[in-house]
Amino acid sequence: MLSTLSVAVRQRWQRTLPMADYIVDRWQKARELEFGEGSSIYDSALVLGDVQVGCNTWIGPFTVLDGSGSLVIGDFCSISAGVQIYTHDTVCWATSGGNFEPERAPVHIGNRCYIGPNAIISKGVTIGDGCVIGANSLVNRDVPAGMKAWGTPAQIISKVVTE
């Protein structure tokens, strides 16, 4: 059966997948996580805590969605492979020898956003509607609606043009 699925996927989409992604229906996984209608999430994605995802959003493979401090992702978003979104960090906990609790702050990603491969979004960040975040970027502050941002740390580069 796996061999048949592998051949069918390779012929239709010219790709091969990790074994679990041949078996797990990513739209069903999204429904089980109570994500919005039409959303999908690869089996290799790690989902922690309170993660809310809108409709028609694609969550790529090998992503980390940390909702321990509350994570909201809007409609029609594309969260590329390897993206890591954190709503907590353990910096003070580690450097204090455990005397402080992990710090938590919510992350909100608006509607119609594209988050490029391997981008990292830090706790407490809001990304407005219609934004583009470049590959390999570290987003550690808010990005207003309709903007392109990339780099480490991410800098606003220009407005998104959709015409």
Question: What is the pLDDT confidence band of residue 8, given thresholds at 50, 70 and 90?
Answer: confident
Residue 68 in contact with residue 104, Cβ under 8 Å? yes
Q: What is the dihedral of CA 117, 122, 127, 130, to 10 degrees?
A: 0
Asked if residue 163 has pLDDT above 80, the reply is: no
Structural domain spans, the chain: 25-159
Is the domain spanning 25-159 CATH 2.160.10.10? The answer is: yes
Tell me how far the alpha carbon of residue 2 is from its chain's centroid.
28
pLDDT of residue 1: 67
pLDDT tens per residue, range 112-142: 999 999 999 999 999 999 999 999 999 999 9
| CA dihedral sign, ordered 153, 131, 85, 91 | positive
pTM for this one?
A: 0.92
Question: What is the pLDDT confidence band of residue 23, given thresholds at 50, 70 and 90?
Answer: confident
Asked if residue 76 has pLDDT above 80, the reply is: yes
Q: If phi over 0 gives left and psi between -120 and 50 gives alpha, with beta otherwise, what is residue 123?
A: beta
Tracing tokens 């550690």 back to the chain, one arrives at 140
